Amino acid sequence: MATKAEELKEKLFFKQDNAYDKMDEAQRAQMQQYAAGYMSFLGQAKTEREAVRAAVRMAEERGYRAYSFGDAVKPGDKFYFNNRGKSIYLFRIGSEPIEQGIRISAAHIDSPRIDLKQHPVYEDGGMGFFKTHYYGGIKKYQWTAIPLSLHGVITKADGQTIDFNIGEDEGDPVFYINDLLPHLAQEQMRKTMAEGISGESLNLLIGSEPYPDADASERIKLNLLNLLNQKYGITEADFMSAEISAVPAFRPREIGFDRSLIGAYGHDDRVCAYPSLTALFETEDSRHTCMAILADKEETGSDGNTGMKTWCFVDIINELARSLGGNPNTVRMNSKCLSADVNAAFDPNYPEVFERRNASHINEGVVLTKFTGARGKSGTNDASAEFVGYVRNIFDKAGVVWQTAELGKVDVGGGGTVAMYISKKNIDVVDLGVAVVSMHAPYEVIAKSDLYMTHRAIAAFFQ
Ligand code: MN
Ligand code: MN
């Protein structure tokens, strides 16, 4: 028989669920199927441009149409607004008045990577290279000595823009950043990890064969530019108007004997972007107007016209309010948003940076992060108790396994999301997403169950 203390504990203490204890056979099968769909999406969406393309494909298959400013909208309509091919807003107009607000899930589709400089091509010491400038927060040493693929676009002198994508297909060559052999790395190994590899040494190895003219100079560079000219019709000057990124050439794989984890490049934040899309598509019968936003530039501070600080977001809400006969200020005031972004999963190999009681754990469900920021909550949205309570209630009713966490110990570091830029527009926002192991590494890890719970959480919010 349970003692009085045990009974009281049962009643009063909070107990965190593990997602596996809350899923029946059917749900586990759904989770597996969902994870397979995600892995296929992730494999073809390694940059923001590719993620937008994949989102447009998925949306059009489900009857979404391209939206332009000024288009009239009515309940039941399904639209997407493609912002310059790098960010996308998908929305479905609900039957309730637009002044009731919009249910929004905002994730980002850019990830840390290595961008080419505008004058990238050179040769040195018998090797051809591209000069690079890294994008987002990376630990530079992780990006050397791994296979990298190139993704992006080049706008030529005549204004024509061509796609550039090499290194993903089985037969493609890949690219590489050299590192020093341990035998000669005594000096390097004494440096801090931040200094061991410098930004200017992240040069991409792209070839070594000289142009067949022994009297010519810069023969390797010449041979490489000749190859690129034959294949793409470009010259060295065209790199000035190009956006090309080197990303890990790894494909998403299951990790572990039990296959419960997924390893991939760019989980942050496509692991929240994909559920934002699937949740929007799944909740077609909602009376609410719902919107999924896939934003660019989060990893560099959300600036630029494709980042979450852009006016484009407010412009779209203004347009919808105008067309549906609502006050746009009231629409924003009554809108509710999930800032769908990842959290740092507790890692038992590095327990010193986490505070266990307030860290996210893999397989404990979607992570609700009330505030981000650094030090004394500097640079954060900090959702209200009322809004967290509102969201909590939705998840509990829908049987979603969820947890709450902050990002690491107080004063150890910190981070931000798009939440603060959305709440600035007078919208209620809270952060929500998947716990990631080795965040921002070339190959990150997440748990399938957390991915699946994130989809269910966003779907319940839209419903
Ligand atoms: Mn993120
Ligand atoms: Mn990030």
Q: For residue range 220-249, what is the model confidence (pLDDT) as tens digits?
A: 999 999 999 999 999 999 999 999 999 999
**Does residue 268 have a cis bond before it (omega within 30 degrees)?**
no
Q: What is the pLDDT of residues 98-133, one digit of tens each?
A: 999 999 999 999 999 999 999 999 999 999 999 999
Q: Which of 201, 221, 248 is the last residue of a domain?
A: 248
Distance 299 CA to ligand 1 centre (A): 7
Residue 1 has pLDDT above 90, yes or no: no
- Residue 299 CA: which ligand is closest? 2
DSSP string, 54-103: HHHHHHHHTT-EE--TT----TT-EEEEEETTTEEEEEE--SS-GGG-EE
Q: Are residues 208 and 287 in the same domain?
A: no
Distance 182 CA to ligand 1 centre (A): 34
Distance 213 CA to ligand 1 centre (A): 49
- Assess if residue 163 is contained within a domain: yes
Q: Are residues 282 and 209 in the same domain?
A: no
Q: Are residues 196 and 142 in the same domain?
A: yes
Q: Which two tokens stand for residue 129?
A: 């290279």
What is the structure's pLDDT at 414? 87
Distance, CA of 333 to CA of 256 (rounded, Å): 46
- Angstrom CA distances, 439 to 113, 139, 232, 250, 263, stand at 13, 10, 35, 16, 11
Q: What is the CATH number for 412?
A: 3.40.630.10
Q: Are residues 232 and 271 in the same domain?
A: no
> What is the 3-state secondary structure of 63-75?
CCEECCCCCCCCC
Q: Are 204 and 146 in contact (CB under 8 A)?
A: no
- Residue 111 CA: which ligand is closest? 2
Residue 422 has pLDDT above 80, yes or no: yes
Q: Are 446 and 376 in contact (CB under 8 A)?
A: no
Q: Which of 248, 275, 304 is the last residue of a domain?
A: 248
Q: Which domain holds residue 152?
A: 113-248
Q: Which of 248, 278, 298 is the last residue of a domain?
A: 248
Distance 429 CA to ligand 1 centre (A): 15
Q: Are residues 192 and 280 in the same domain?
A: no
What is the structure's pLDDT at 118? 98
Distance, CA of 205 to CA of 194 (rounded, Å): 22
- Assess if residue 1 is contained within a domain: no
DSSP-derived secondary structure letter, 408: S
- Assess if residue 401 is contained within a domain: yes
- Angstrom CA distances, 163 to 157, 245, 269, stand at 15, 12, 23
Distance 99 CA to ligand 2 centre (A): 33
Q: Which two tokens stand for residue 186?
A: 């005594």
Rounded mean pLDDT of 166-178? 96
Q: Tokens 């609410």 map to which residue?
A: 288
Rounded mean pLDDT of 308-314? 97
How many CB atoms within 10 Å of residue 69? 11
Q: What is the pLDDT of residues 341-382, one digit of tens each?
A: 999 999 999 999 999 999 999 999 999 999 999 999 999 999
Distance 270 CA to ligand 2 centre (A): 10
Number of domains in the chain: 2
Distance 280 CA to ligand 1 centre (A): 20
Distance 93 CA to ligand 1 centre (A): 28
Q: Which two tokens stand for residue 237?
A: 């000057």
Distance 345 CA to ligand 2 centre (A): 13
Distance 431 CA to ligand 2 centre (A): 13
Distance 454 CA to ligand 1 centre (A): 14
Q: What is the pLDDT of residues 191-224, one digit of tens each?
A: 999 999 999 999 999 999 999 999 999 999 999 9
The count of residues in the chain is: 463
- Assess if residue 223 is contained within a domain: yes
- Residue 272 CA: which ligand is closest? 1
- Assess if residue 195 is contained within a domain: yes
291-292-296 Cα angle (round to 5): 130
Q: Are residues 336 and 434 in the same domain?
A: yes
Distance 443 CA to ligand 2 centre (A): 13
Distance 107 CA to ligand 1 centre (A): 8
What is the structure's pLDDT at 157? 93
423-381-266 Cα angle (round to 5): 95
Q: Are residues 362 and 444 in the same domain?
A: yes
Distance 191 CA to ligand 2 centre (A): 26
Q: What is the band of 2 on the pLDDT scale with cuts at 50, 70, 90?
A: confident
Distance, CA of 171 to CA of 266 (rounded, Å): 23
Give the 3-state secondary structure of residue 359.
coil
Q: What is the pLDDT of residues 44-95, one digit of tens each?
A: 999 999 999 999 999 999 999 999 999 999 999 999 999 999 999 999 999 9
Residues with CB under 5 A from ligand 2 (ion): 268
Q: Are residues 107 and 117 in the same domain?
A: no
- Assess if residue 259 is contained within a domain: no
Rounded mean pLDDT of 11-37? 97
Q: Which residues pair with 114 in a beta bridge?
A: 134, 246
- Residue 136 CA: which ligand is closest? 2
Distance 346 CA to ligand 1 centre (A): 16
Q: Are residues 184 and 299 in the same domain?
A: no
- Residue 269 CA: which ligand is closest? 1
Distance 176 CA to ligand 2 centre (A): 23
Q: Are 279 and 462 in contact (CB under 8 A)?
A: yes
Distance 180 CA to ligand 2 centre (A): 28
Distance 185 CA to ligand 2 centre (A): 30
Q: Are residues 333 and 391 in the same domain?
A: yes
- Residue 441 CA: which ligand is closest? 2
Q: Are residues 243 and 272 in the same domain?
A: no
Q: Are residues 95 and 160 in the same domain?
A: no
DSSP string, 202-237: -PEEEE-PPPS-TT-SSHHHHHHHHHHHHHH---GG
- Residue 434 CA: which ligand is closest? 1
Distance 20 CA to ligand 2 centre (A): 27
CA atoms within 13 A on the CB side of 215: 0
Q: What is the pLDDT of residues 265-303, one digit of tens each?
A: 999 999 999 999 999 999 999 999 999 999 999 999 999
Distance 268 CA to ligand 1 centre (A): 5
Q: Which two tokens stand for residue 411?
A: 């004063």
Distance 323 CA to ligand 2 centre (A): 36
- Assess if residue 7 is contained within a domain: no
Distance 330 CA to ligand 2 centre (A): 32
Distance 154 CA to ligand 2 centre (A): 26
- Assess if residue 3 is contained within a domain: no
Label residue 386 exposed, middle or buried (CB < 10 Å: 0-12, 13-18, 19+).
exposed
Distance 112 CA to ligand 2 centre (A): 7
- Which bin fits 125, alpha (ψ -120 to 50), beta or left (φ > 0)? left
Distance 380 CA to ligand 2 centre (A): 15
How many CB atoms within 10 Å of residue 157? 11
- Phi/psi for 147 (5° steps) reads -70, 135
Q: What is the CATH number for 187?
A: 2.30.250.10
